[in-house]
Structure 1
Amino acid sequence: MADQELIEKLRATVGREYGRVNAWDEVNAPMIRHWCEVMGIDNPLYTDPAAARDAGYPDVVAPPAMLQVWGMAGLDLDNFAPGSTDANVFEILKDIEAYGYPGVVAVNSELSFDRYLHVGERLYYRSRIDQISEEKTTALGTGFFVTAIMTYFVEQDDRDDERVGELLFRVFKFKPAERPKAAEPAAAKTDAPKAMRPLPGISDDSRFFWDGCREGKLLIQRCTACRTLQHPPAPVCSTCQSFELDHVQASGQGELYSFVVMHYPEVAPFEHPNPIGLIELDEGVRLVAGLVGVVPDDLKIGQRLQVEFNTFDGRLTLPQFRPVAG
């Protein structure tokens, strides 16, 4: 259980806003060209002034995905352009660490763009702590999901600065889970042990799914705020970022959206060839599962499937999908 003092500190941090961070350089063609070369992008709007003018722009424009690049510090950590704030939106991570949560991992990043950026424009961003979750337990360990939002603006001389995009960045600050100690080597046996199916990593966010499988139910996570269904389960809604989640039982019917057939290497205890499908459920969610009762050469995209639950090694129940007759 998290320290109450830490909980109060985290609650007080949500919504905190930080000052501006200035870009080192104006939007410029050389940086755009170098970025496109690295990313393997050949859109003429980004590299050919004539093509950009034909499309109605005064010069080349910057790829939208470069939005974050203009505000980066560079190789030296926190070496931001003059006039930038000294405060860091993720300073709260140091406070969490002081309470015994040393691990950190980036969870996801989402960019949104309002328009193209033009050569010569100068950017800055302002940031805020948008959300901090309650203490969560995952396969990595126990800790807090911290979500920051950076809003980007273009400086304007004769009117209010214009918002041009937003970056959501989420990290997990956690206390690593204790790993089980390695068992003492067993005495040599004449008969090799039977290979068993590996067990999935189960966290507080996904436990309902595996419990449902044992009961013969295909349960799908649902956001109670925007009603979006999502799979695999996550600690936060991927659509509206809400932490308020429950689950619903799916019909178990759907169609084959895509598939692969594993031939080699042959890994025990799986049978080969081993068909694996990406199934689109009738509820609109896709999930990966094994296909049973199929001839690999007869698999067809779009064919109807029905879930069935099979237990392996007396300890693991998996949802697998079988073609619907007819």
Structure 2
Amino acid sequence: MTGPTRMSEPELRELADKQAALGEVRGTPAADPVNLPMIRHWLDAMGDTNRTYLDKGIAPPAMAQVWTMPGVRRDAKDRSPVDDMLAALDAGGYTGVVATNCEQTYHRHARVGERLTPATRFSGLTGPKRTALGEGYFATWNVTWYGEGDEPVAEMMFRVLKFRPHRRREGPPPVVRPEPAGREPYPLRPARNRDTAFFWDGVRDGELRIQSCADCGRLRHPPGPVCPACRSANRSYVVARGEGTVFSYVVHHHPPVPGRETPFVVAVVELPEGVRIVGNVVDCPPDAVGIGMKLRATYRAMDDELILPMWAPRES
């Protein structure tokens, strides 16, 4: 059996229109009903101590997608209008993927014992667009989960960028500065603007800077233009100790990420200063990472220009 053929831009648009014209396509009901053990695991992972869900036999609204997520080996009957579109983009070389938008709407709680049924509608394809990651297309779709009596439980709008990763250049890359020398440019470059420049200047100098309000002193991360407490636009920063603990984490196995080798750990790190920051955990195997693990900041040169803050285990 041969895979999907490479499509031209007009053919991709034609396929997108075709998939959108299908409208809402019902999937198969969830393999398992909404159940208390899964709800308990979810609450534990999220650090949610609200007993209402367990006592009343209802699921947290954000769990809607959990009940119908397919496994690695999917049946043909589980394919949605999105699958053919994403396969066509993969065949066209747009193999990179990064989620850009996720908006959820909740109609009611899912109840223990009911099986949810997903329905997917492909909304559209935009592109090609030139982005920092490479040329790509933005694909958007909507999923509605239905419960008993065909009643909508939750909806989700999801959008991804499917991009063509930059090709590695032949021969050694040019040397920008003596240390570190000759590295391939790291493809995933963080946004630098007036709100974030102070943070990246600190990383360059080996400092973990946290934005603070110059009026009320409240710390905030990620950085932003206005204090959420007093609405002041006057900004400053403090230098954090560079220590923290794992609040939550994921081990990323798939899909491939340009410039990274899988698996790798992405953690939400809780700082003693009172804010949380997202970063990679390095210098230890993924299966050694756990909630509450003590970490220290470390700064890694990704190429000749970019330095990223990461986190490594600390003894005490």
Instruction: Give the TM-score of the pair, scaled to structure 1.
Output: 0.52
Residue 38 of structure 2: SS of its match in structure 1? helix
Choose 1 or 2 for highest CA Rg. 1
Contact 1:70-1:123 at 8 Å conserved across structures = yes
The total of aligned residue pairs comes to 213
Give structure 2 stretches of 5+ with no counterpart.
1-7, 181-186, 215-220, 236-316
Q: Does 1:31 align with 2:38?
A: yes
The SS at the match of 1:129 is: strand
Deviation of the 1:187 alpha carbon: 11
Partners of 2:41 and 2:208 in 1: CA distance: 44
Residue aligning to 2:292? none
| Residue 152 of structure 2 corresponds to residue 163 of structure 1 | yes
Instruction: Show structure 1 runs of 5+ residues with no match.
Output: 50-58, 194-199, 211-217, 219-230, 233-258, 280-285, 291-299, 307-326
Q: Distance in 2 between matches of 1:71 and 1:125?
A: 7
Measure how far apart 1:7 and its partner are.
Answer: 2.8
1:278 Cα deviation from its structure 2 partner: 7.3
User: Is 1:90 the equivalent of 2:83?
Assistant: yes
Task: Write the mapping of 1:60-99 to structure 2, written as runs, cut at 5 A.
Answer: 60-74=57-71, 76-78=72-74, 85-87=78-80, 89-99=82-92
* Aligned match of 2:50: 43
Q: Which residue of 1 aligns with 2:205?
A: 266
Matching residue of 2:142: 149
Q: Is the 8 A contact 1:278 1:289 kept in 2?
A: no
Q: In the aligned structure 2, how far is the partner of 1:14 from the partner of 1:155? A: 26
Distance in 1 (CA, whole Å) between partners of 2:224 and 2:143 is: 37
1:119, distance to aligned residue in structure 2 (A): 1.5
CA contact (8 A) 2:27 2:120 kept: yes
User: C-alpha separation between the residues in 2 aligned to 1:69 and 1:187?
Assistant: 48
Q: Structure 1 residue 264: deviation in Å?
A: 8.5
Structure 2 distance, partners of 1:94, 1:78, is: 14
Instruction: Quote how far apart the aligned CAs of 1:116 are.
Output: 1.3
Q: TM-score w.r.t. structure 2 length? A: 0.53
SS at match of 2:41: helix
Q: Deviations over 1:227-280 (max 9, x none)?
A: xxxx99xxxxxxxxxxxxxxxxxxxxxxxxxx98x989834xxxx89785679x
**1:195-274 correspondence to structure 2 within 5 Å:** 266-267=205-206
- The equivalent of 1:242 in structure 2 is none
Deviations 1:19-53, CA, capped at 9 Å, x for gaps: 32311122122221122122221111122x2xxxx
The one-letter amino acid of 1:8's match is E
CA offset at residue 202 of structure 1? 9.0
Output the CA distance in 2 between the equivalents of 1:41 and 1:289.
27
RMSD: 4.6
